[in-house]
Structure 1
Amino acid sequence: MHPFDAAAHVEETIAAPMYLGDWLAARQPTPAVGTSSSETPSPYLSGLSWRSGREVAAQQANKRRLIAGIEALPAPTPAAQAARARFSAMVAARPATGRVVVPRTDGRWLQANPASDPRLEAGDIVTIPDRSSTVTVVRADGSTCTVAHAQDVEALQYVLACDPAATPDVAWIAQPDGTVSENKVAAWNRDAQDTPAPGSWIWAPDRGSRWTPALSRALAEFLATQGVSEPTGDGAPPHAPRIAPRHQTEFLTGAPTRSAAFPVTGGDWGTAGILQTPTARMNDAGEASLSMSHVSPYTRLNFALQPLDWLEIGFRYTDVSNQPYGPVSLSGTQSYKDKSIDAKIRLWRESAYLPDVAVGFRDIAGSGLFSGEYLVASKRTGPFDWSVGLGWGYMGARGNLRNPLSMISRRFDDRANSATPNGGELGYGSWFRGRVSPFGGVQYQTPDERLILKAEYDGNDYRHEPFGQVLKERSPFNFGAVYRATRNIDLSVGFERGTRVMFGVSLHGNLKRATMPKLGNPPPVPVTQPAANAGPRTHAAGAPTRGGRSAVASTPRIEGASPSPFDRDWSDTVAQLQAQTNWHVRSIRALGMDLVIEFDDVDAFYLQDQIDRIATILNRDAPLNVRTFHVVALTHGVPVADYQVQRTQWFASRTRALVPSEVAPATTLGRPLTNQSIDMLPPLFEQRPRAFVLSVGPGYQQTLGGPNGFLLYQISANAYGELRMPGGAWLGGELNVGLVDNYGKFTYTADSKLPRVRTYLREYLTTSRVTLPLLQLTKIGRLGNDQFYSVYGGLLESMFAGVGVEWLYRPAHSRLAIGVDVNAVRQRGFRQDFSMRGYKTLTGHVTAYWDTGWQGVQINLSVGQYLAKDKGATLDISRRFRNGVVIGAYATKTNVSPAQFGEGSFDKGIYVTIPFDAMMTRSSSSIANLRWNPVTRDGGAKLDRRYPLYDLTDMGERRSLWYAPPDGAVSP
Structure 2
Amino acid sequence: MTARAEFRRSRARLAVTTAAAALAFGAPTQAQDIPTFNTYGVPGLIDMPSAEMAPDATVGLSYGRIDQSNRGALTFQLTPRLSGTFRYAGIADFDDPNSNADGVYYDRSFDIRFLLFTETGIRPAVAIGLQDFIGTGIYSGEYIVATKTLLPKLKVTAGLGWGRLGSYNPATTLGERADNLLGSGGLPTYDRWFRGDIAPFGGLSYAWNDRLTLKLEYSSDAYDDESARGGFEHDSPVNLGFDYRLDNDLRLSLYYAYGSSLGFQLTYPINPKTLGIPGGVEPGGLPVRRRAEASADDLGWTAALDAYEASTQKRLISSLEKDDLSIDGYRLEPRRATIRLRNSHYGRPSQAIGRAARAMTRIMPDSVEEFTIIPVENGTPMSAITLQRSDLENLENDAAVEMLARTAITDAYGKAPAPDIQVTPKFTWALTSYYEYSSFDPDDPLRVDVGAQIGGTWQITPQLELSGALRKRVIGNIQDIDRVSPSELPRVRTDLPFYAQNGDPKISNLILSYYGRPGPDLYGRVSAGYLEAMYAGISGELLWKPVGSALALGAELNFVRRRDYDQMFGLMSNTTEEPDNDTTREIPDFNGHVSAYYDFGGGYQGQMDVGRYLAGDWGTTLTVGREFANGWRFGAFATFTNVSSDDFGEGSFDKGISLSIPVSVGLGTPSRRVETTVIRPITRDGGARLGVPGRLYNNVRTWHEPEIADSWGRFWR
**TM-score using structure 2 length:** 0.88
The AA in structure 2 aligned to 1:917 is S
Aligned residue in 1 for 2:579: none
Aligned residues of 2:61 and 2:73 also touching (Cα < 8 A): yes
Aligned residue in 1 for 2:694: 947
C-alpha displacement of 1:602: 3.9
The AA in structure 2 aligned to 1:851 is D
Q: Specify the SS of the correspondent of 1:279.
A: coil
Pick from 703, 706, 709: which aligns with 1:959?
A: 706
Pick from 363, 373, 378: which aligns with 2:147?
A: 378
Pick from 657, 669, 673: which aligns with 1:922?
A: 669
Given the alignment of the two structures, is residue 844 of structure 1 paired with residue 582 of structure 2, yes or no? Answer: no
1:466–1:515 distance in 2 versus 1, CA, 3 Å: farther
1:644–1:463 distance in 2 versus 1, CA, 3 Å: same
Pick from 265, 268, 272: which aligns with 2:36?
A: 265
1:84-103 to 2 correspondence within 5 Å?
none
Pick from 450, 454, 457: which aligns with 2:211?
A: 450
**Cα distance between partner residues in 1 of 2:26 and 2:373:** 40
The AA in structure 2 aligned to 1:613 is R
1:971–1:704 distance in 2 versus 1, CA, 3 Å: farther
**Cα distance between partner residues in 1 of 2:626 and 2:56:** 10
C-alpha displacement of 1:593: 2.1
**Cα distance between partner residues in 2 of 1:594 and 1:492:** 64
**Cα distance between partner residues in 1 of 2:523 and 2:206:** 58
Pick from 494, 501, 505: which aligns with 1:766?
A: 501
Q: Specify the SS of the correspondent of 1:705.
A: strand
The AA in structure 2 aligned to 1:380 is T
Cα offsets for 1:7-54 (capped at 9, x unmatched) = xxxxxxxxxxxxxxxxxxxxxxxxxxxxxxxxxxxxxxxxxxxxxxxx
Aligned residue in 1 for 2:50: 279
Pick from 319, 323, 332: which aligns with 1:577?
A: 319
Pick from 425, 429, 450: which aligns with 1:694?
A: 429
C-alpha displacement of 1:297: 1.9
The AA in structure 1 aligned to 2:667 is M
C-alpha displacement of 1:627: 2.1
Cα offsets for 1:486-533 (capped at 9, x unmatched) = 242111011111221211111221123345764674443344434xxx
C-alpha displacement of 1:276: 0.4
Aligned residue in 1 for 2:445: 710
C-alpha displacement of 1:644: 2.3
1:112-191 to 2 correspondence within 5 Å?
none
1:443–1:886 distance in 2 versus 1, CA, 3 Å: same
C-alpha displacement of 1:786: 0.6
The AA in structure 2 aligned to 1:416 is A
1:390–1:642 distance in 2 versus 1, CA, 3 Å: same
C-alpha displacement of 1:962: 3.2
Given the alignment of the two structures, is residue 425 of structure 1 paired with residue 184 of structure 2, yes or no? Answer: no
Cα offsets for 1:72-117 (capped at 9, x unmatched) = xxxxxxxxxxxxxxxxxxxxxxxxxxxxxxxxxxxxxxxxxxxxxx
Aligned residue in 1 for 2:654: 907
Aligned residue in 1 for 2:297: 558
**Cα distance between partner residues in 1 of 2:256 and 2:432:** 47
Q: Specify the SS of the correspondent of 1:953.
A: helix
1:788-799 to 2 correspondence within 5 Å?
788-799=523-534
1:637-656 to 2 correspondence within 5 Å?
637-654=379-396, 656=397
**450-459 or 356-365, which moves further after superposition?**
356-365
**Cα distance between partner residues in 2 of 1:348 and 1:848:** 35
**Cα distance between partner residues in 1 of 2:514 and 2:90:** 49
Given the alignment of the two structures, is residue 728 of structure 1 paired with residue 475 of structure 2, yes or no? Answer: no
Aligned residue in 1 for 2:454: 719
Pick from 373, 377, 381: which aligns with 1:631?
A: 373
1:686–1:296 distance in 2 versus 1, CA, 3 Å: closer
Pick from 670, 673, 678: which aligns with 2:409?
A: 670
**Cα distance between partner residues in 1 of 2:26 and 2:77:** 24
Q: Specify the SS of the correspondent of 1:710.
A: strand
Pick from 91, 109, 112: which aligns with 1:340?
A: 109
**Cα distance between partner residues in 1 of 2:313 and 2:544:** 38
Unmatched tracts of structure 1, length 5 or more: 1-179, 184-190, 193-259, 407-412, 531-536, 540-555
**939-948 or 516-525, which moves further after superposition?**
516-525
What is the percent sequence identity of the aligned residues? Answer: 29
C-alpha displacement of 1:426: 1.6
Aligned residues of 2:354 and 2:716 also touching (Cα < 8 A): no
Aligned residue in 2 for 1:615: 357
Aligned residue in 1 for 2:263: 502
The AA in structure 1 aligned to 2:524 is Y
Aligned residue in 1 for 2:483: 748
Aligned residue in 2 for 1:888: 635
Pick from 538, 559, 562: which aligns with 2:293?
A: 538
Q: For the aligned residues, what is the CA RMSD?
A: 2.8
1:326–1:396 distance in 2 versus 1, CA, 3 Å: closer
1:833–1:809 distance in 2 versus 1, CA, 3 Å: same
Aligned residues of 1:878 and 1:889 also touching (Cα < 8 A): yes
Given the alignment of the two structures, is residue 320 of structure 1 paired with residue 91 of structure 2, yes or no? Answer: yes
**Cα distance between partner residues in 2 of 1:615 and 1:421:** 59
The AA in structure 2 aligned to 1:607 is P
**803-812 or 362-371, which moves further after superposition?**
362-371
**602-611 or 822-831, which moves further after superposition?**
602-611
Mark the structure with the bigger radius of gyration. 1
Pick from 938, 946, 955: which aligns with 2:685?
A: 938
Aligned residues of 2:298 and 2:366 also touching (Cα < 8 A): no
Aligned residues of 2:426 and 2:459 also touching (Cα < 8 A): yes
1:317–1:678 distance in 2 versus 1, CA, 3 Å: closer
C-alpha displacement of 1:450: 0.8
Cα offsets for 1:139-197 (capped at 9, x unmatched) = xxxxxxxxxxxxxxxxxxxxxxxxxxxxxxxxxxxxxxxxx9999xxxxxxx97xxxxx
Cα offsets for 1:48-68 (capped at 9, x unmatched) = xxxxxxxxxxxxxxxxxxxxx
Corresponding residue pairs, total: 676
Cα offsets for 1:374-411 (capped at 9, x unmatched) = 111222232122221111100111252224xx4xxxxx
The AA in structure 2 aligned to 1:924 is S
Aligned residue in 1 for 2:118: 349
Cα offsets for 1:520-564 (capped at 9, x unmatched) = 74443344434xxxxxx625xxxxxxxxxxxxxxxx763557635
Aligned residues of 1:602 and 1:634 also touching (Cα < 8 A): no
Q: Specify the SS of the correspondent of 1:919.
A: helix
The AA in structure 2 aligned to 1:849 is Y
C-alpha displacement of 1:320: 0.7
Aligned residue in 1 for 2:19: none
C-alpha displacement of 1:267: 0.8
1:971–1:852 distance in 2 versus 1, CA, 3 Å: closer
1:652–1:666 distance in 2 versus 1, CA, 3 Å: farther
Aligned residue in 2 for 1:130: none
Aligned residue in 2 for 1:303: 74
Aligned residue in 1 for 2:7: none
Cα offsets for 1:754-807 (capped at 9, x unmatched) = 100000111112212211121111222112211122222211111111112211
Cα offsets for 1:342-386 (capped at 9, x unmatched) = 111222222222222221111123452210011112222321222
**Cα distance between partner residues in 1 of 2:384 and 2:227:** 59
**Cα distance between partner residues in 1 of 2:701 and 2:98:** 49
Q: Specify the SS of the correspondent of 1:837.
A: coil
1:565–1:460 distance in 2 versus 1, CA, 3 Å: farther
**Cα distance between partner residues in 1 of 2:279 and 2:431:** 21
C-alpha displacement of 1:617: 1.7
Q: Specify the SS of the correspondent of 2:382.
A: strand
1:600–1:285 distance in 2 versus 1, CA, 3 Å: same
Q: Which has the higher contact order (CA 8 A, sep 6+)?
A: 2
The AA in structure 2 aligned to 1:880 is E
Aligned residue in 1 for 2:619: 872
Pick from 180, 198, 205: which aligns with 1:436?
A: 198
**Cα distance between partner residues in 1 of 2:699 and 2:477:** 36
**TM-score using structure 1 length:** 0.66
Cα offsets for 1:817-848 (capped at 9, x unmatched) = 11111111111111111212221421101110
